[in-house]
């Protein structure tokens, strides 16, 4: 009896050992079998940790099915998306994209998403360092003058000196709202102007006027500014020379116009037109008001012409108080004819 029990135990041990050996064999063969029938994992093979707005960047993936069509989507801060990223065909399992990050992109984390045919989508992140310092606008000073006509209506001439403190970003489509505030802090009227471009690191001299049908006991101005966009600083204004304040020939004691010379200081571009905005100051540097105007005429490089501003509220300013004038020119350039 005891001998039979020992034989049974030995037989079961041999069966268990054979099963273990068979399992080990299956485990040894399994990886090769799965790899032969499966696909490699889609992954980023090139993804920089950071990039600078305004500069180029390259991203690539590996592990795609050879010949598969892959697409890349990139989103920046404030839901801005990268355009111009065409689908790429995977060659040897790899797909690649190169593009230039817009210099207007703000510093933030960019989100990347890659999709290849017959592969799962993968996502990644890229730290974008902003190259532009956003425009920061401030009112340097403002002021106004009033003039009442014999009919009883009042014209208010105003001037606002605005500075863009950004060292490299032009402010685009700047809306300037001017509120005319009474002594009780109520508004008597409002007017707005759009400045197409306020260059980086410069001041803009905004001059204009508003007419009221009766008395206008204005106590102060209230200025509200909104920047519509920004761009890397480019271009330059034309040069101005011999700028003077001229009295009115028909209305003694009041400013008639602001005149001077505009010079095309570009070596290759033709100056097609110039929009001017002027602010007049008294001897102490206080703002008295301002005006505006436009000059037309194609100026070849290195030439000049006279400009004369009569618009806005220039004629509401007393000639006795007008001591100096600041003028901001906004040019329209065109390639000169060869």
pLDDT digits over 284-303, tens only? Answer: 999 999 999 999 989 999 99
**pLDDT band of 77, cuts 50, 70, 90:** confident
- 207 touches 289 (CB < 8 A): yes
User: CA-CA distance, 251 to 238, in Å (whole number)?
Assistant: 32
Q: What's the alpha-carbon Rg for the chain, to the nearest Å?
A: 36
List the chain domain ranges: 43-129, 137-335
Lowest mean pLDDT of 18-22, 60-64, 252-256, name the range. Answer: 18-22
Is the pLDDT higher at 335 or at 209? 209
pLDDT value at 277 more than 80 = yes
Asked if the 43-129 domain carries CATH number 2.60.40.10, the reply is: yes
Q: What percent of the chain has pLDDT over 90?
A: 77
pLDDT value at 27 more than 80 = no
**pLDDT band of 316, cuts 50, 70, 90:** very high
User: CA-CA distance, 8 to 175, in Å (whole number)?
Assistant: 98
pLDDT digits over 173-199, tens only? Answer: 999 999 999 999 999 999 999 999 999
pLDDT of residue 12: 52
Q: What percent of the chain has pLDDT over 70?
A: 87
Question: What average pLDDT does the structure give for the chain?
Answer: 88
């Amino acid at each position: 009896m005891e001998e039979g029990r020992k034989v049974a135990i030995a037989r079961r041990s041999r069966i268990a050992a054979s099963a273990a050996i068979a399992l080990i064999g299956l485990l040894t063969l399994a990886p090769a079998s799965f790899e032969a029938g499966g696909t490699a994992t889609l992954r980023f093979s090139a993804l920089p940790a950071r990039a600078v707005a305004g500069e180029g960047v390259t991203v690539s993936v590996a592990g795609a099915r050879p010949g598969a069509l892959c697409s890349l989507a990139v989103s920046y801060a404030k839901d801005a998306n990268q355009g111009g990223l065409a689908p790429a065909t995977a060659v040897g399992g790899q797909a690649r994209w190169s593009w230039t990050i817009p210099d207007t992109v703000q510093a933030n984390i960019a989100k990347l998403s890659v999709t290849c045919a017959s592969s799962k989508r993968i996502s990644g992140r890229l730290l974008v360092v902003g190259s532009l310092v956003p425009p920061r606008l401030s009112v340097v000073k403002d002021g106004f003058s009033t003039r009442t006509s014999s009919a009883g209506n009042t014209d208010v001439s105003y001037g606002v000196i605005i500075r863009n403190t950004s060292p490299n970003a032009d402010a685009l489509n700047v809306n300037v709202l001017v509120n005319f505030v009474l002594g009780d802090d109520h508004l008597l009227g409002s007017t707005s102007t759009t400045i197409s471009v306020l260059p980086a690191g410069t001041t803009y001299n905004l001059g204009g006027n508003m007419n009221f049908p009766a008395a206008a006991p204005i106590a102060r101005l209230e200025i509200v500014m909104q920047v519509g966009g920004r761009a890397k600083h480019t271009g330059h204004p034309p040069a101005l020379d011999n700028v003077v304040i001229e009295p009115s020939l028909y209305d003694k004691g009041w400013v008639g116009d602001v005149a001077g010379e505009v010079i095309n200081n570009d070596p290759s571009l033709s100056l097609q037109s110039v929009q001017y905005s002027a602010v007049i100051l008294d001897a102490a540097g206080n703002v008295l008001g301002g005006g505006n105007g436009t000059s037309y005429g194609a100026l070849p490089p290195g030439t000049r012409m006279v400009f004369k501003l009569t618009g806005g509220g220039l004629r509401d300013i007393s000639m006795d108080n007008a001591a100096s004038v600041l003028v901001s020119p906004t040019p329209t350039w065109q390639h000169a004819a060869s």
